[in-house]
Structure 1
């Protein structure tokens, strides 16, 4: 932990989460874990939008981060994207229009709930950081601010697939890892045994990435550098000097017209909370 984290009051009581399902159009249900402050509701809410299996893969860190928000009077919601974790549907690739459509619908639903005061923020690292930028560019009315960590404004220029037009070896690791993760079974405690239909519809995202070796419409989609002015909410862009995405923070500071702040520190592909000014971070 960094030195700043030593000032955190660990005596605060961390509320337990509630397992909920957010209803979308046409009957799709999105699995979510909700942390609410024990007092002072309705409250502002922080949303994290990622596909990384809240029931097991990120359960510990989710409870630490979102429980901390709730202990400080801010509601927090951790979403599993459509087709990931315990959510309905299929996840066919990164950052599809469907993912952003779902997010706009979820944010509107959150703003209407009695425990939310209508003000929603987003926080995310890596996929979650990308998503926060892309969803901000859609301008959902209730979204007031985002924290985007270890992300980029340009999916082709400096993501894990291509960089400067060169195919990266990381694309094979990430492509196979994502595909394997999406095929894991759902948690029967919440959704029963109906996950085999997901396997039948799965496609390897790597095939899509390799089919688009140039900066075409496939990569321009989700690249907020195509229209920086589409983002109107406040942006806090965070990254580490040893992370592959730190250049994007400088571009965001240069080109965004919205209220903005950047932070680049001596850590890698992690939240600053878990990094620190020492070797190996």
Structure 2
């Protein structure tokens, strides 16, 4: 999971109320009432069955008439509601509270303001059991009407769906943005079954080690529950293959959801497939939409076009939690943004294209077009009959043009394609639109027991510029079974199959369709250890199937969306400065060295206190020694609270050789400049088909 701080927006009308509570008089025009609710913000705790107290912030409407009750919307994440996420949480809490909903924002046990030790990992049995208990308790509050919804982006999308699977009686509906149903194949630890070292792993291990809010006590309990806990990064690296650890809460291996769900995905988000997966299997009503943006909510995700998803969410909640017959289920149930082919760019504000609304996926009239890689770099309608083998030398540092995961905007893919086998169709004579998950099959061989393959679908413009459409990685050890991996037999041909991640795209006339096949996707996928050569066999067993849909030229009337609304900034704090992640890639073709770096920092104030966080990360590999890949991360949080400075620095290192991952993680805590505690964890973890 990747944590995501909501963008701050400005709206006048907020004020402090007595007793330390915060209130906000909204000024937006509301669809359900003529005037918005005033609301209060209250902090409290709820006790779980084992005695652990979970911290809750309530955004609670003020009743307009005696005895008035409200539905409850719960979000539960470990992202520290009292410091890191306070400003962003306020905006969403205020929005729904003004419309007559209690929002309950809860810190996962062992994190933020909640008690207990840090859980064993994400989505632990304790976490999901807590969610069930929270739903029950919230439904029984004096101000509750008994109906509860869960919602969230990323982590809270994951646990909303996991909790819904358990069907607590009071949970009537959920909203999930950027979630996953398959934690081994579609999360940030192993992308498509291949090891991915994401900055999130370092971020969460650092922030989980901060003292418990709001007192930030540094004492024996803090050390036992947080600082001295082994970082999760070790846990994830010890689980290099699919199995019970990953499947325990993965919905892909459970019975279908029976709780109504509104799904939101993004074409530039690594989790986008989940919206399709849940749509196919759910036994309750589903509303699903996939827009052009990254790991973000639709009203601010980049690139646009954006819209006010919260207006749709209110209609969803009104129907399921307030019992209002508003026709929400009569509108088209599936919506996706069809991207019109565009030049590669990393800074587009808006993508050209249109919205298409349908009742189902695949859409009516969909067909499949199969294309075959042929010799001479051609992609044709029939398999090659010449039987020539295509050799590819493995260059471990190739792949940086595609970025850190299958998401975000990318520039020209020429640098990656130079170290790939590429196959181009003839220039198209008419437009071709695709929507879905292209299927790929490759007949391959290798000179070592383990390599990795990646496939990328691209658009080649007449001027030679290459745009990435989507891609996927293949871990060949899982070609027969994800649960029982097998090494390749050097020199023996085998067949690999995968689905490219969900995408939409209109290929314009004059453009060509490109399939690029590579053995490296650095730094997205940890490099395989052996230098050498792989072979691709064009022919009847090597192809790509494109999900072709009928061409449409503009947004249909049923797809008209509300414009983004201004949000309420928290009246008790603000962002001071922010430098979003800057990515830099350097490759030396002469030496074979490749380096990918990213750095960011942010500072903000809350109630007169100051908070700062900065981080920097670097990945390195050399083509001649791919086994010796390296990752280094550094994150520092400095909180100055009532004149007291808490300074936590963490440094992580992962270095590999042919057989082992060597992992070191160091935490250093200072208070008012004085060293309080320093602790280092080290392990040497065997490589297992990664």
Q: CA separation in 2, counterparts of 1:129 and 1:34?
A: 19
C-alpha contact 1:31 1:79 (8 A) present in aligned 2: yes
Q: CA separation in 2, counterparts of 1:212 and 1:189?
A: 35
Shift of 1:9: 3.7
Residue aligning to 1:16: 40
**Residue 157 (1) aligns with residue 180 (2):** no
Q: CA separation in 1, counterparts of 2:41 and 2:175?
A: 22
Residue aligning to 1:4: none
Q: CA separation in 2, counterparts of 1:280 and 1:177?
A: 27
**Residue 29 (1) aligns with residue 53 (2):** yes
Give the aligned CA root-mean-square deviation in angstroms: 2.2
Residue aligning to 1:132: 160
Matching of residues 74-153 of structure 1 within 5 Å = 74-92=101-119, 93-153=121-181
Matching of residues 1-281 of structure 1 within 5 Å = 8-9=28-29, 12=36, 15-39=39-63, 41-92=68-119, 93-170=121-198, 173-189=199-215, 194-199=221-226, 201-229=228-256, 231-275=257-301, 276-277=304-305, 279-280=348-349
C-alpha contact 2:259 2:284 (8 A) present in aligned 1: yes
**3-state SS of paired residue (1:47):** strand
C-alpha contact 2:266 2:291 (8 A) present in aligned 1: yes
**3-state SS of paired residue (2:39):** coil
Consecutive unaligned residues in structure 1, runs of 5 or more: 2-6
Larger relative contact order (Cα-Cα within 8 Å, sequence gap ≥ 6): 1
Q: Note closer, same or farther for the CA distance 1:220–1:280 as it changes in structure 2 (3 Å cut).
A: farther
Shift of 1:8: 4.7
Q: CA separation in 1, counterparts of 2:82 and 2:191?
A: 34
Encode CA deviations 1:66-95: one digit per residue, 9 max, x unaligned: 111111011110000100101001223100
Shift of 1:12: 4.8
Encode CA deviations 1:157-200: one digit per residue, 9 max, x unaligned: 11101122210132xx2222111111111224487965333235
Under a length normalisation based on structure 2, what TM-score does the superposition of the two structures give? 0.38
C-alpha contact 2:153 2:179 (8 A) present in aligned 1: yes
C-alpha contact 1:86 1:191 (8 A) present in aligned 2: no
Larger % of strand: which? Answer: 2
Consecutive unaligned residues in structure 2, runs of 5 or more: 1-6, 8-26, 307-347, 351-690
**3-state SS of paired residue (2:61):** coil
Q: CA separation in 2, counterparts of 1:204 and 1:191?
A: 20
C-alpha contact 1:37 1:75 (8 A) present in aligned 2: yes
Shift of 1:137: 0.6
Residue aligning to 2:389: none
Q: CA separation in 1, counterparts of 2:63 and 2:195?
A: 51
**3-state SS of paired residue (2:42):** strand
**3-state SS of paired residue (2:106):** strand
Under a length normalisation based on structure 1, what TM-score does the superposition of the two structures give? 0.90
Q: CA separation in 1, counterparts of 2:113 and 2:244?
A: 31
C-alpha contact 1:232 1:257 (8 A) present in aligned 2: yes
Encode CA deviations 1:87-112: one digit per residue, 9 max, x unaligned: 00122310011100111111111111
Residue aligning to 2:3: none
Give the paired residue count: 273
Encode CA deviations 1:27-81: one digit per residue, 9 max, x unaligned: 2100010011112531111000101111111111111101111110111100001
Shift of 1:280: 4.9
**3-state SS of paired residue (2:287):** strand
C-alpha contact 1:146 1:233 (8 A) present in aligned 2: yes
C-alpha contact 1:15 1:70 (8 A) present in aligned 2: yes
Shift of 1:25: 1.6
Mark the structure with the bigger radius of gyration: 2
Shift of 1:15: 2.2
**3-state SS of paired residue (2:161):** helix
